[in-house]
Structure 1
């Protein structure tokens, strides 16, 4: 940007992914005039009201914090306008912004999105990419419009998805990359740059994750289940049943077999120090290496079998709650 005046920026975000971007902006010396985040909500067993990561960081830096339920509440839009922002940067805010908000800042609203758009528009792009077996993800800096992640692309940064990446590890990598990408974008900010139009024909949608879909369907192929286990680590975490006992599965790997195993999907064929080998729908094996029984802590398969091997002997086919 050629002007000597620093941009007046409003930052909108709520969780840790957004906090990393806000910290990067602060470290780069940008003028954050206000922070918008979701209202405080009860958390933990005690249901205590806890500030979200973005709000905590804003408070530490004495930045005004706004937490409207939506922008239809009386005075919320006027309050936004009162900051006289040049730009609003949005990342994992958790609220769909109406057109009246998108056009309030002088240069509109910019989004930091955790995928290489137009692939994986929507709420869970990081996890859906791993679940689908993608080899690459990244960050897209996008000009927001009235659609869901449909705006023009202003900057893209690639990030490979490694074979051992989980939803958690890729989240952390992309959070850091998002912070770097937005600071790079602002360092070269040109309000006349309209960016690249997305091709809708190449788009797909990353539906929000749910606890219900985390239950393993052993009729799926071993590689599909392995990818799902990786994607849903650390939330909502895949699970299955050993009899009536729910078992979370944190780590698992596909074991290639020379020929399909002719057993019912979900059948346990080996209990060993290296893991619990389970037949999947394609006759291939999934080796479960890290598990967690309800009321217990995460542990490797060998440790769990020391205490709970009888569960698997008594119920040699997983997935059926009996």
Structure 2
């Protein structure tokens, strides 16, 4: 077991060791096609670039492949690029942008493909054309949490440990290659996604650099000792807007806070109706968006609640700086978001908007 002082002093990493120490395998200088997208992949790209600067006998060149820029926002007036595009430009690397690899041909000199949080399956024909095939860095301890959202799904299930896997790339399936190395990371109660990405990104970059330097991508692949505790295969599906929709009927106060910390941008389509007609159907399905952080408030005597039997019930808090809204949760506690925005209304003015609606309803009653 390897122990080291991790991020904020809360990380312990464990590397699954080979049954025997692998010899460094010789290979041609690598011409790498790096396929990436997000912040997690940037750690690995920077590590490869550093290795290229010091070991040109190992890495001769790096090309970067990512998805094209997309139009986003209201009216699709704003252009959004994947984060790795700008990093590739700053590093002076050749960039390719494609949304489909069905007919795309990689540069003829590419002899190794590396994919990290890319989002597209690299076709078998591209892997076959590369002399050394492909490597993938995946932020989970495979076969646990295969799929596009392993970090988020692990956090949403209150896992206290996760890790990173370096594997070969399978020609037809995501996350089914031969496992070359893994490293376990304890995350304790940390739930901020940017912090976890930083922790795992550094681990993944280290595994990838070590794999390149040792030639781990060249068969025969090392045999790993069995893990101390078997992890069953599981799938980590993509995060969708529905994962951010608050289910007041089942979510506890802790669930609301956890979802906000991991996913952010929570919303519902029932709060506006609550505030218009005390929970009855007002014929409006306006979305209400909530910005964190959320505060958990324990119930106290003398509070004014519209209906204690109905989770999701909003309540006015008269603060010195103006009215704010808190919500009853299924476990009898309250949660209060930092910011509320009602669909069609100015951003961040939801506390005042909802309080005004609630006061009107109570006055009418």
User: Which residue does 1:159 correspond to in 2?
Assistant: 185
Shift of 1:245: 6.0
Change (3 A) 1:230 1:61: closer
Q: 1:267 aligns with which of 297, 308, 313?
A: 313
For the Cα contact (< 8 Å) 1:142–1:155, is it kept in 2?
Answer: yes
Which protein has the larger Cα radius of gyration, Structure 1 or Structure 2? Answer: 2
Partner of residue 262 from structure 2, selected from 202, 219, 231: 231
- Offset of residue 90 of structure 1: 0.2
1:201: how far off? 8.0
Query: Could you say if the C-alpha distance between residues 288 and 112 of structure 1 is closer, same or farther in structure 2, counting changes exceeding 3 Å?
Result: farther
Task: Give the equivalent residue in structure 2 for 1:320.
Answer: none
| Per-residue deviation, 1:22 | 0.8
Distance of 2:73 and 2:89 partners within structure 1? 21
Q: What residue is the counterpart of 1:115 in the other structure? A: 140
User: Corresponding residue for 2:86?
Assistant: 56
The ranges of structure 1 where at least 4 consecutive aligned residues each deviate by more than 6 angstroms after the TM superposition are: 197-201, 255-258
Q: RMSD across aligned C-alpha pairs, in angstroms?
A: 3.5
Deviation (angstroms), 1:213: 3.2
Structure 2 unaligned segments of length 5 or more: list them.
1-23, 53-58, 273-285, 301-306
Are the equivalent residues in 2 in contact too, given 1:130–1:166 (CA < 8 A)? no
Structure 2 counterpart of 1:247:
289
Match of 1:173 in 2: 199
Please give the alpha-carbon distance, in whole angstroms, between the structure 2 residues aligned to 1:63 and 1:130: 34
Residue 321 of structure 2 corresponds to residue 279 of structure 1: no
How far apart are residue 312 of structure 1 and its match?
Answer: 5.5
Q: 1:44 to 1:32 in 2, by over 3 A?
A: farther
Deviations 1:166-205 (A, max 9, x none): 3343233323332233223323333232555999981111
Q: In the alignment, which residue of structure 1 is the partner of 2:278?
A: none
The yes-or-no answer on 1:219 pairing with 2:267 is: no
Of 76, 97, 104 in structure 1, the residue corresponding to residue 129 of structure 2 is 104
Normalising by the residue count of structure 1, what TM-score does the alignment of the two structures yield? Answer: 0.78
- From the superposition, tell whether residues 183 and 106 of structure 1 become closer, same or farther in structure 2 (CA, over 3 Å): same
Task: Give the superposition deviation at 1:264.
Answer: 0.9
